[in-house]
Amino acid sequence: MSEAAVLLNPPGEIHSASAEAIRERVRAAGVVGAGGAGFPTHVKLQAQVEIFLVNAAECEPMLKVDQQLMAQQAARLVRGVLYGMRATGATEGIIALKEKYHAAIEALTPLLPGQIRLHILPDVYPAGDEVITIWLATGRRVPPAALPVSVGVVVNNVQTVLNIARAVEQQYPVTRRTLTVNGAVRHPLTVTVPLGMPLREVLALAGGATVDKPGFINGGPMMGGLIPSIDAPVTKTTGGLLVLPESHPLIQRRLQDDRTVLTIARTVCEQCRLCTDLCPRHLIGHELSPHLLVRAVNYQNVATPQTLLSALTCSECNVCESVACPVGISPMRVNRLLKRELRASGARYTGPLREADEMARYRLTPVKRLISKLGLREWYQDAPMIQSDIAPSRVELLLRQHIGAPAVPCVKAGDRVSRGQCIADIPPEALGAPLHASIDGVVASVTDQAITVVRG
């Protein structure tokens, strides 16, 4: 047994499950992409690729989950990568993380077998956009509208890979989510909570808001969406809970309706093209040019159909709105509107991959600058991980926590369930992931949206 294998031994040897068994255990455990829209992981693991990449950049400035989980569960993460590599046939594993994650690097380095390496990313945004992570970590460029698998790479985030390892080794279903609560709260923290726990109770763990009229963002300040109700439940893809005064520009921008967004774009765009010069997708050779799309909606018929279709390749990283535009326009929101229309008409983009901008690496945004630019200095703080035995009295488990068909309940009101029990499954042949009870208790209600379990 190699030195790395010995070090990996506690708390368990590498499981000998076959590629097929790994995918089946991951499916049965309800593992979905924890860093994005919740794509079912067992489907992703069907791809046969050369590189299994862990996107551990965590480049949203206020979130502190992955960097702490990696330090705390380094051995499990490495084993998860090995399972991912086995399932996908990958011969190389890469964990792409930032230099400033010292504790994680220290914990991971002695555990790495020869086929897995760390890739140290610069502290820039959006180093964690999977297309940019792939480019930075491998030099490969994903063509516009293509998937990472087209360049021989499968990407998963840290929590997903940890969930893969738990699923393979202990057949342990996904019933918890680790998230950071940060911003205008008394005690910023990172904590693992049962799925379905109301965000209001998660906020209380952080001592509550410190401002009278708080606004809430699910995830980070760049890509997170507004949370309409603080009573919403935690899901498998909840990115974090960012609390800011309602008057903060990051909240106010998100409250702007589409009409206002378009009116501002029409009134003040000076076609300076800064949004395009800093657009990460444009920089690596995609056709996407946000200034042309803003022009297209401002003046009808000035764009070719091909230019309009390129809106479909926008990652919604928010650089054009929050970093680039000097006059407060949101090309990202304009793109989002265009996307909605184009998708409704069934349109698809196909286009070339051009040469990357030779200054591309230097045009990504340093995170320190980003924090200032976003007006977050006052709210930027550490969010240490706390261990807490959290026992909510009630959880609301949404049937749609993933891309694909909603899970179909297999319990009814009055049933007694135990933590980890499957309570909703996916229809045969459908894309999706099963759902499991996150606490012991009794099913209080089953609707077409959610299953509510009450402790007891």
Q: Tell me which residues in 259-318 interact with ligand SF4 (CB under 6 A).
A: 269-275, 279-281, 288, 290-291, 294, 314-318
3-state SS class at 51: strand
**What is the x/- site pattern for ligand SF4, positions 220-259, by CB under 6 A?**
----------------------------------------
Rank residues 81 and 269 by Cβ distance to ligand SF4 and give the closer one.
269
State in angstroms the smallest separation of the CB of 369 from ligand SF4. 15
Q: Total residues at the site for ligand SF4 (CB under 6 A)?
A: 28
For the segment 33-72, give every residue that binds ligand SF4 (CB under 6 A).
none
CB of 259 to ligand SF4, least distance (A): 17
**Which is nearer to ligand SF4, 49 or 264 (by Cβ)?**
264
CB of 141 to ligand SF4, least distance (A): 14
Is 235 or 335 the residue whose CB approaches ligand SF4 more closely?
335
- Helix ranges (H only) for 310-359 are 319, 331-344
Nearer to ligand SF4, 359 or 389 (CB): 359
Residue 12's CB is within 10 A of a number of other CB atoms, namely 14
Residue 128 contacts ligand SF4 per CB under 6 A: no
Q: Which CB atom, from 83 or from 125, has the smaller least distance to ligand SF4?
A: 125
Alpha helices of 299-440 — where are they, by DSSP H? 305-309, 319, 331-344, 360-363, 367-373
Beta carbon nearer to ligand SF4, 328 or 414: 328
> Are the beta carbons of 157 and 133 closer than 8 angstroms?
no
CA of 398: how far to CAs of 117, 191, 226, 235, 449, in Å? 37, 20, 18, 7, 6
| Residue (123 or 316) nearer to ligand SF4, CB | 316
**Cβ(311)–Cβ(352) under 8 Å?**
no
Considering only 1, 255, 327, 386, the residue that binds ligand SF4 (CB under 6 A) is 327
Joined together, the tokens standing for residue 294 give 């803003």
**CB of 326: closest distance to ligand SF4 in angstroms?**
6
Three-state DSSP class for 254? helix
Query: Residue 49's closest CA among 126, 125, 142, 122?
Result: 142
Query: Measured from the CB of residue 322, what is the shortest distance to ligand SF4 in angstroms?
Result: 9
- Min separation Cβ 261 and ligand SF4, Å: 11
Taking CB under 6 A as the criterion, the residue among 319, 395, 437, 453 binding ligand SF4 is 319
Smallest gap from residue 271 Cβ to ligand SF4 (A): 5
Return the exposure string of 48-59: e unless at least 16 CB atoms fall within 10 Å of the residue's CB, then b. ebbbbbbbbbbb
Pick the closest to residue 66 from 150, 161, 195 (CA basis). 161
Other beta carbons less than 10 A from residue 337's beta carbon: 16
Burial of residue 164 (number of CB atoms within 10 Å: 0-12, 13-18, 19+): buried
Residue 137's identity, in one-letter code, is A
Q: Out of 22, 77, 251, 325, which residue is the one contacting ligand SF4 (CB under 6 A)?
A: 325
Q: For residues 40 and 224, which CB has a smaller minimum distance to ligand SF4 in the complex?
A: 224
Rounded distance between C-alpha atoms, residue 248 and residue 221, angstroms: 11
Site map 154..193 versus ligand SF4, x via CB under 6 A? ----------------------------------------
Whether the CB-CB separation of 98 and 123 falls below 8 Å is answered with yes
Task: Taking each helix axis as running N to C, give the angle between helix 158-170 and helix 74-88, from 0 to 180 degrees, rounded to the nearest 10.
Answer: 80
**Closer CB to ligand SF4, 25 or 282, in the complex:** 282
Which stretches of 140-259 are assigned E, i.e. beta strand? 153-157, 176-183, 189-194, 214-218, 225-226, 241-245
In the range 330-389, which residues lie near ligand SF4 by CB under 6 A? 331-332, 335
Give me the least distance between CB of 128 and ligand SF4, in Å please: 13
Give the DSSP H or E segment for 120.
strand 116-121
Least separation in angstroms between residue 339's CB and ligand SF4 is 10
Distance CA 83, CA 78 (A): 9
Residues at the site binding ligand SF4, with contacts judged by CB under 6 A: 269-275, 279-281, 288, 290-291, 294, 314-320, 324-325, 327, 329, 331-332, 335
